[in-house]
Structure 1
Amino acid sequence: MTNVLLVSIDSLRRDFLGAYADEPHCVDYGVETPNLDRFAERAATFDTHYAGSLPCMPARREWHAGVQEFLWRSWGPIEPYDDHLARVARDDGVLTQLITDHFHYFQHGAHGYYEDYTGFEFIRGHEYDAWQTAPKTPDDRLLDQTVDRETDPPDGVGYVNRSVYARNAERRGVEDDERNAFAPRVFSRTAEWLRDNVEWDRWLCYVDSFDVHEPFHCPEPYASLYTDEDPRDPELDVWPYYGPVDEGQSELSERQLEFVRSQFAGKVTMADEWFGRVLDALDDEGLWDDTAVIVTSDHGFLLGEHGWVGKNEPPVYDVLARTPLLVWHPDGAHNGERIASLTSAVDLYATVLDLLGIDGDAADRVHSRSLQPLLSGDADAGDLHAHRDRALYGYWGSAVNVTDGEYTYLHPCDPTVESRCHSTTMMNARGFPLPTTPKRDAEAGEFVPHADGPVWRFAADSYAQLDAPMLFDVREDPTQETNLVDERADERERLREELVAGLENLDAPEHQYDRLDLDPPA
């Protein structure tokens, strides 16, 4: 039984961290992460950890409810049938705290993510957070770096949303003092919370930093740390549109792309610098002996790799899906060592409950499997399949992907299939975010096996992230440059069978087999 500090750093790529720099696929970006490296020297470093449901809020429902939601529904709320992590902990007498600048928790239609915490702190102003209404006209230079005025009319959604950030950042004074930037505010407040709450017997503190998520708008000294450009040059974007690098909205010159990379790197170093304040608080208050600390991310971000910028439209390459996971356990058998075993983001739910010493099966832990046996040495950390034989991951309504830790197989969907895709929710039959067109074809029924009552189900469009299957040998080709789907038919069929087995194990909806053109198990 321990306290638990769970830290997520949005969009943090593992190949930007010193802890993973010795891996063969890592490019030496020269990015400074001394504090995350300092933590990694103490913690167990997981080498084969994969995202599950992408992007932001689907990942957080996995962490908060143990549900691999992308097979059932899109981005949305905590459901009434979910055993929310904070509620289960509170019911067992644990003090629970959320510290975040991740505004999606509080966005209309989100529901249920923060309400069960004993306390929560929301640091305002990031991305599209509807915070400031003044000044009416934000700073022109910052607007130029966040909005494409040629393609975004002033009354268009892109301009309106991005001008919100310009207004918020100007009001907070992000450029003038790094202490006003978002990651510094989140981590300095976390350090204060740790110092203020040492008298509690058992606690869970979940810290969710929206940085290093875009916009890649850094204060000094971080803005100039990895570039010789003037970071305030209005011709240089800090908020690139998602898409192919060489066509469409994400068309960026090589100069612009290099600048975006430099600002992403600057945000990584800024988050690292202020995360160091949290480590200092753990040191100063003597908390390491009774506190487990978990550091992870929801996904990565493409910075020109495979010809893409962003994360939603392209195939889910490992740059996006293979995420960092560092865990300190006071009694861990592998502290300061590597864990090779294949793990999944959804496993953090059961792991936190076990670390808190909470007995019983919270909804049978749904799809989550505790990492405690790996941390304690009861499972072989050198065995790739000691924890999982496979991990499924993807975006709702698109391709479904599977890895066994040796190969990754990316399987397309057919967005024209008659049954299409069905989203299921108990909370919101209109879809998310609101407002949207009412789903007049919604029907109620027992469509979700892990729900304890009927849910709404309604037809929804699929979208194709890839036109044909892709297979990669991530041992020999960790950057996934060579598609082996035609050359290694035996491995393709084996991974296809793993995908079907994974869907069956999760009791996935029948329509998934239709739209993926897979034969359901007999």
Structure 2
Amino acid sequence: MNDFNVLLVTIDSLRVDCLGAYNESFSIDVETNNFDRFAERAAVFDSHYAGSLPCMPARREWLTGTQEFLWRPWGPVEPFDETLPAAIQRHDTVSKLITDHYHLFEHGARGYHEDFKAYEQIRGHETDAWKTTPYDLDPDFLAKLKGDDDPYDGKKKNNTNYARNVADFTEEEDFFAPKVFSRTAEWLAENQEWDQWFCYVDSFDVHEPFHVPEPYASMYTDEDPTDPELTFWPDYGPTDGKPSDADTETGPAEPGDSELSEREEEFVRSQFAGKTTMVDRWFGRVLDTLDEQGLWDETVVIVSSDHGHYLGDHGWVGKPLAPLYDVLAHTPLMIWHPESERNGERVEEVTSAVDVYATVLDAMGVEDVDHRHSRSLVPFLAGETDDHRDWAVYGYWGSSVNVTDGQYTYFHPCNESVDSYCYSAGMMNTVDWMAPPEPHLNAEPDSLPYTGSPVWRYAGPSHGRHDEPMLFDTEADPDQERDIAAERSDIVEEMQALLLEALADLNAPEWQYERLGFEPAPDAA
């Protein structure tokens, strides 16, 4: 195959069941005309799964090819990583990042933007520490945020950040997805003198808060979207309000934190659907520019997401300490390649988030880079092979480990009495809810199987998501409503063998086997 430009578009929290192209069954018929339009042109991967969760671990997979959750939680690019923009720029190719994903620039997440030739950050999403004014905030809007006008009110103070950041938003064009995708369209039109380019567009929408302007706020509901009793930013946790003893992105869940009435849940889903449609419409501007500039014949376009978002599904909201059902872990992947034999086809072959890294490098003709845990999809797209993966593994650091073969999804529990270990060259300060407590204590030198660089290893707790193995046949039961582990012990054994195969292939550390209740592989790290 020839060498091409690459446009990589990732859309945070985009649920696969909201996309018409995936023929899924979200409770609302969501308008996604432009994603569907792109899907008609592209190869659509039906068995694509997240790898390391949530936001920043997924980006380390995409940008460095590292299946990180077996070794590390949320954190920075490591000194021994070779990022996509760094590898590409060694080949005299320009790289550009356009994003409103403020976590890329946050404390504990350094290095993700620094190797790009140029980057643009659109400020203000979620709890981005951007504005300190206005002082007087609309109490009804704060109520919808579950916020408080006291800027020092602990957990809720971050919600007031968002209220201040968007206080002067009056038009649709002021919102985040319109800014991200309109700027992308402009960049594509302005930058065609380069011999070759890589553009990474990291849209934080459809991430919460699910705050959208009209017409989207009313598009899928008969409620008054300004009603202060109806939140568009529900807390993470179980919808029945039962307490959880595990940390979430907003802190420890408390009794009643995520308790939603049927009316409240329907409203939240309507606002998520509205935001999905807004993202879709502005993504359409990018497709229009590719048309207008005649870029399709020289550009590989990859569209994906890091994870979904529970909206009452299986009794959960957000990305809490819940089993990793497909609502969260089954993600969209659509790839247009000008020379692909698979364009316009549905693909059943299993693929994983980490495969984006090697695919981008191969599409651009960059050959002298270690793909680490990533497997390029270019040979599959070219029709050179019909096989790609037998498995995809996914999970959070220090939690259960999950595996799929494309039909069955198997959730393997962990032993909470066995510590997890984090390996890093310098990750002593990271996001507090993802890191081991006081990680500078009990640290000792160690090594990783995929790099010769020395690292520190330090202990942290394991957090179970379920007590027993769970098994679902996603062909017969796509909504994963019926756990068949007890009645299909034969399939459980097969999936455990597949998980062990994956752990051995990745050279997972010995303590992971102990934590998961397996005998360690002879050559486990």
Give 1:244 deviation, angstroms: 0.8
Matched-pair contact (CA < 8 Å) for 1:430–1:437: no
Specify the code of the residue in structure 1 equivalent to 2:385. A
CA distance in 2, matches of 1:343, 1:460: 30
Give 1:263 deviation, angstroms: 0.2
Give the match for residue 157 of structure 1: 154
1:129 aligns with 2:135: no
| Structure 2 length-normalised TM | 0.94
CA distance in 2, matches of 1:479, 1:30: 16
Q: Deviations over 1:478-522 (max 9, x none)?
A: 111111111011110111111111111101111111111111224
Matched-pair contact (CA < 8 Å) for 1:11–1:301: yes
CA distance in 1, matches of 2:352, 2:106: 27
Give the match for residue 3 of structure 1: 5
Matched-pair contact (CA < 8 Å) for 2:48–2:332: yes
CA distance in 1, matches of 2:151, 2:189: 46
Give the match for residue 182 of structure 2: 188
CA distance in 2, matches of 1:459, 1:267: 39
SS in structure 1 at match of 2:7: strand
CA distance in 1, matches of 2:521, 2:320: 30
Q: Deviations over 1:382-423 (max 9, x none)?
A: xxxx11111100011100000111111101111112xx0111
Give the match for residue 215 of structure 1: 209
Written as runs of structure 1 = structure 2, the 5 A alignment for 1:416-435 is 416-417=417-418, 420-433=419-432
After superposition, the CA RMSD in angstroms is: 1.5
CA distance in 2, matches of 1:232, 1:437: 43
Written as runs of structure 1 = structure 2, the 5 A alignment for 1:71-90 is 71-90=70-89
Task: Select the residue among 224, 230, 238 that pairs with 1:230.
Answer: 224
Give the match for residue 54 of structure 1: 53
Task: Select the residue among 267, 277, 285 that pairs with 1:277.
Answer: 285
Q: Deviations over 1:133-161 (max 9, x none)?
A: 11123221221111266xx9863432111
CA distance in 1, matches of 2:264, 2:16: 23
CA distance in 1, matches of 2:136, 2:344: 51
Shift in CA distance, 96/255, structure 1 to aligned 2, threshold 3 Å: same
CA distance in 2, matches of 1:154, 1:87: 40
Specify the code of the residue in structure 2 equivalent to 1:263. Q
Matched-pair contact (CA < 8 Å) for 1:429–1:442: no
Give the match for residue 383 of structure 1: none
Give 1:307 deviation, angstroms: 0.8
CA distance in 2, matches of 1:127, 1:303: 18
Give the match for residue 510 of structure 1: 510
1:369 aligns with 2:375: yes
SS in structure 2 at match of 1:5: strand
Q: Which runs of 5+ in 1 are unaligned?
A: 381-385
Give 1:77 deviation, angstroms: 0.2
CA distance in 1, matches of 2:155, 2:176: 22
CA distance in 2, matches of 1:438, 1:245: 32
Specify the code of the residue in structure 2 equivalent to 1:468. E
| Structure 1 length-normalised TM | 0.94
Give the match for residue 244 of structure 2: none
Give 1:371 deviation, angstroms: 0.4
Written as runs of structure 1 = structure 2, the 5 A alignment for 1:19-58 is 19-21=21-23, 23=24, 26-27=25-26, 29-58=28-57
1:167 aligns with 2:164: yes
Give the match for residue 392 of structure 2: 391
Give the match for residue 469 of structure 1: 469
Give 1:433 deviation, angstroms: 4.5
1:14 aligns with 2:16: yes
Written as runs of structure 1 = structure 2, the 5 A alignment for 1:252-291 is 252-291=260-299
Matched-pair contact (CA < 8 Å) for 1:390–1:403: yes
Matched-pair contact (CA < 8 Å) for 2:151–2:160: no
SS in structure 2 at match of 1:479: coil
Give the match for residue 498 of structure 1: 498
Matched-pair contact (CA < 8 Å) for 2:216–2:275: yes
Give the match for residue 237 of structure 2: 243
Matched-pair contact (CA < 8 Å) for 1:96–1:203: yes
Give the match for residue 245 of structure 2: none
Give the match for residue 197 of structure 1: 191
Give the match for residue 113 of structure 2: 114
Specify the code of the residue in structure 1 equivalent to 2:157. V
Matched-pair contact (CA < 8 Å) for 1:77–1:113: yes
CA distance in 2, matches of 1:257, 1:265: 12
Q: Aligned residues: percent identity?
A: 57
SS in structure 2 at match of 1:262: helix
Kindly tell me the number of residue pairs found equivalent between the two proteins: 504
Task: Select the residue among 195, 199, 206 that pairs with 2:200.
Answer: 206
CA distance in 1, matches of 2:153, 2:516: 35
Specify the code of the residue in structure 2 equivalent to 1:370. S
